[in-house]
Amino acid sequence: MKPSPIKPISLIQFLIEERRAGHINAELSLLIEVVARACKRIAVATNKGALGGVLGMQAGDGEGGSINVQGEAQKKLDVISNEILLEANAWGGHLAACASEEMEDPQQIPDGYPKGNHLLLFDPLDGSSNIDVNISVGTIFSVLRCPDDVTEPKAEHFLQPGTEQLAAGYVVYGPATTLVLTFGHGTHEFTLEREVGSFMLSRRGIRIPEEATEFAINMSNQRHWQPPMQRYIGELLAGTTGPRGKDFNMRWVASMVADVHRIVTRGGVFYYPLDAKILKQGGKLRLMYEANPMAFIIEQAGGAATTGRERIMQLQPTGLHQRVPVFLGSKKEVEVATHYHLIADGAQNQVDDVDRSIG
Ligand code: P6P
């Protein structure tokens, strides 16, 4: 279904509409405004490219560059983006604490500043390995409610299932700077009007086609996948000559935000499955500030998001930086891939339950 035609309203006007509809309160509205403003600053820093002295690795203590809590090389823009989001959210009184891919522990609101009732989690610059080659990167964020009577939120206070999210969004820093946002009442897209500096509503009530003709996966991991993934992707590659009876196209940007935005825009599926290399970590992508917010956005647009075996948003988190397998996008295609995994596990009796859980 095509999203309804819209008159160009700004993000601020949209947030006022959402408050009047009772979908959000004033504090959450302010939080989203602050995050959107911070992302505009990240866009400016990112868009400078080689002229801004922001490319390359973040300097470390020793010989090599800085390594983040994930054990990954840190780019200068990872650190800059993280600082921009922390600084923007420190003083507004809308947050109890922040958690970031770039920080081991949650960041408290500095003493002297008022605190709010929300927890903000973010990957400040997802896909940052693409920065130096000028490929789209992005910011992903998720908002949870701070448990009552908690004034110094610890990691365990963030460990809430994705179904508890009050808001989720991402910003793509690409040819256009685009914000995609949900409060649980549909998924909506805003495009930055650079001259004015406002995010303008460009798509309201996005719906992802249930069928897919494009899949996104890192094929170089193929020999490490589990058998059901080998079978499933093999059938996509067989196209009209195989059991699926139709040809598929493939994309892999290696920037989750860019791959997900393509799916939000024209359908398709994105997979980062378990493989032998990452079995111990439980997956590649992080549950709290990548998988859960993207799952919320995708589900609100009529898509599905599973680990290949269960709905992502129902997972009870066990760690702030926990990793999970991610299968998301066009609902019917995600269901096929998930069914293959359940059947391979001898859990076909769970197929109906999982289908019901992903709606
Ligand atoms: P690979 C980027 O580092 C990221 O976290 C996601 O944005 C992206 O989808 C994935 O990892 C790419 O992983 O193994 O293809 O480099």
68-120 tens-digit pLDDT: 777 777 778 889 999 999 999 998 899 999 999 999 999 999 888 999 999 99
The kind and range of the H/E element at 16 are helix 11-20
Please give the pLDDT value at position 50: 77
Claim to verify: residue 106 and residue 24 sit in the same structural domain: yes
Claim to verify: residue 135 and residue 271 sit in the same structural domain: no
Q: Is 275 in the pocket of ligand 1 (CB under 6 A)?
A: no
Q: Which atom of ligand 1 is nearest to the CA of 218?
A: 15
Tally the domains of the chain.
2
Q: Nearest C-alpha to atom 10 of ligand 1 is from which residue? A: 254
Count the neighbouring beta carbons within 10 Å of the beta carbon of residue 276: 11
Please give the pLDDT value at position 353: 87
Claim to verify: residue 84 and residue 145 sit in the same structural domain: yes
Claim to verify: residue 316 and residue 198 sit in the same structural domain: no
Dist CA 71 CA 86 (whole Å): 21
Here the tokens at position 150 are 């908690």
Transcribe 270-298 into DSSP letters: EEE--BTTTTTTT-SEEIIIIIHHHHHHH
Q: Is 255 in the pocket of ligand 1 (CB under 6 A)?
A: yes
The CA 127 to ligand 1 mean position distance, Å, reads 6
Q: Which of 314, 306, 220 is nearest to 269 (CA)?
A: 306
Claim to verify: residue 189 and residue 273 sit in the same structural domain: no
- Which CATH number covers residue 101? 3.30.540.10
Claim to verify: residue 267 and residue 302 sit in the same structural domain: yes
Dist CA 331 CA 117 (whole Å): 34
The DSSP letter of residue 151 is: S
Residue 307 lies in a domain: yes
Q: Which atom of ligand 1 is nearest to the CA of 259?
A: 9
Residue range(s) defining the domain that contains residue 26:
11-203
For the whole model, what pTM was predicted?
0.94
Here the tokens at position 299 are 């589900």
Dist CA 316 CA 312 (whole Å): 9
| Bridge partners for 339 per DSSP | none
3-state secondary structure of 203: strand
309-344 tens-digit pLDDT: 999 999 999 999 999 999 999 999 999 999 999 999
Residue 226 lies in a domain: yes
